[in-house]
């Protein structure tokens, strides 16, 4: 039996575009400015802990000082406000999940609490039940295969029989490392021109730009 393991941000919910907006504005306020394409390549698919470690290093390199007091709290507050008022489901996700008759799971770098909020916000939590997994539950986040292998084990499905749907290069690398079929997704609001090509270069078996296309490849 085939199982489908979905990333959350940028695949099920259109949250990456909101996070990107919040992060670039917040970083500019403290004196760090980035090219959007380079920034996405570096940070898309990272855990929050990895993100803050990298930003802390950038800030220290430029200003020889730690991040300003309250920076993490400011970004966290802005995330929560945006996700509670502006978060949208990716077009076609509800219909796809309603039509699938195979095991499904979520495997994401977001925190367990963040995942619960986002999935509930767009009313798809029930499709996954207890099979919602966070990188906080494993030793290494993406691009290590740990999280996807953990999800497959919980589903009771061989990794070779799992399909992963991912929007990030790190996620695709993790799926490949786990021995799973990797499907790149470019339907999120954050995806720039050439995003799909990058996912194919990382090892994606195919790329889709609308989630409904997944059904034809199961």
- Give the domain range for residue 200: 3-14+88-217
CA distances from 181 to 21, 151, 196, 205 (A): 31, 14, 16, 7
- Taking the C-alpha atoms of residue 189 and residue 147, their distance in angstroms, rounded to an integer, is 25
Task: Report how far residue 154's alpha carbon sits from residue 123's, in angstroms, rounded to the nearest whole number.
Answer: 23
Q: What is the CATH number of the domain that holds 31?
A: 1.10.150.240
pLDDT score of 94: 98
User: Closest Cα to residue 182, out of 196, 162, 197, 198?
Assistant: 162
Same domain (yes/no): 32, 137: no
Alpha carbon separation from 108 to 105, 173, 205 (Å, rounded)? 10, 14, 20
Q: Of 85, 101, 132, at which residue does a domain stop?
A: 85
Picking from 66, 85, 104, the residue at the C-terminal end of a domain is 85
Length of the chain measured in residues: 218
Is the same domain home to 185 and 206? yes
Beta bridge partners of 59: none
Domain termination site, one of 85, 111, 131: 85
Specify whether 81 is located in the same domain as 97: no
Identify whether residues 46 and 95 lie together within a single domain. no
**74 lies in the same domain as 141:** no
61 and 37 co-located in one domain: yes
pTM for this prediction: 0.94
Residues 71 and 123 in one domain: no
Same domain as 8, residue 114: yes
HEC string for the chain: CCEEEECCECCCECCHHHHHHHHHHHHHHCCCCCCHHHHHHHHCCCCHHHHHHHHHHHHHHHHCCCCCCCHHHHHHHHHHHHHHHCCCECCCHHHHHHHCCCCEEEEECCCHHHHHHHHHHCCCHHHHCCCEEEHHHCCCCCCCCHHHHHHHHHHCCCHHHEEEEECCHHHHHHHHHCCCEEEEECCCCCCCCCHHHHHHHCCCCEEECCHHHHHHHC
How many domains does the structure of the chain reveal?
Answer: 2
Residues 57 and 141 in one domain: no
Same domain, 66 and 116: no
207 shares a domain with 135: yes
What CATH number does the domain containing 8 carry?
Answer: 3.40.50.1000
Beta sheet of 3-6, edge-to-edge order: 132-134, 104-108, 3-6, 162-166, 181-185, 206-208
Whether residue 117 sits in one domain with residue 183: yes
Which stretches of the chain score pLDDT less than 70?
A: none
pLDDT tens-place string over residues 42-90 = 998 888 888 999 999 999 999 999 999 999 999 999 999 999 999 999 9
Nearest to 170 by CA among 147, 192, 150: 147
């Amino acid at each position: 039996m085939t199982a489908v393991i979905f990333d959350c941000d940028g695949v099920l919910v259109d949250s990456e575009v909101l996070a990107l907006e919040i992060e670039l504005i917040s970083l500019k306020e403290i004196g760090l400015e980035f090219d959007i394409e380079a920034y996405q390549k570096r940070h898309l698919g990272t855990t929050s802990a990895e993100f803050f470690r990298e930003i802390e290093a950038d800030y220290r390199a430029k200003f020889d000082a730690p991040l300003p007091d309250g920076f993490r709290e400011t970004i966290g507050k802005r995330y929560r406000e945006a996700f509670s008022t502006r978060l949208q489901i990716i077009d076609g996700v509800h219909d796809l999940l309603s039509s699938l008759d195979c095991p499904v799971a979520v495997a994401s770098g977001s925190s367990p609490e963040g995942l619960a909020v986002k999935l509930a916000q767009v009313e798809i939590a029930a499709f996954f039940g207890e099979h919602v997994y966070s990188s906080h539950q494993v030793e290494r986040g993406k691009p290590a295969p740990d999280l996807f292998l953990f999800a497959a084990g919980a589903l009771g499905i061989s990794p070779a029989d799992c399909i992963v749907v991912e929007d990030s290069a790190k996620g695709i690398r993790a799926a490949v490392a786990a021995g799973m079929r990797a499907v790149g997704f470019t339907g999120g609001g954050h995806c720039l021109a050439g995003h799909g090509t990058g996912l194919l270069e990382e090892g994606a078996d195919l790329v889709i730009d609308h989630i409904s296309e997944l059904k034809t490849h199961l």
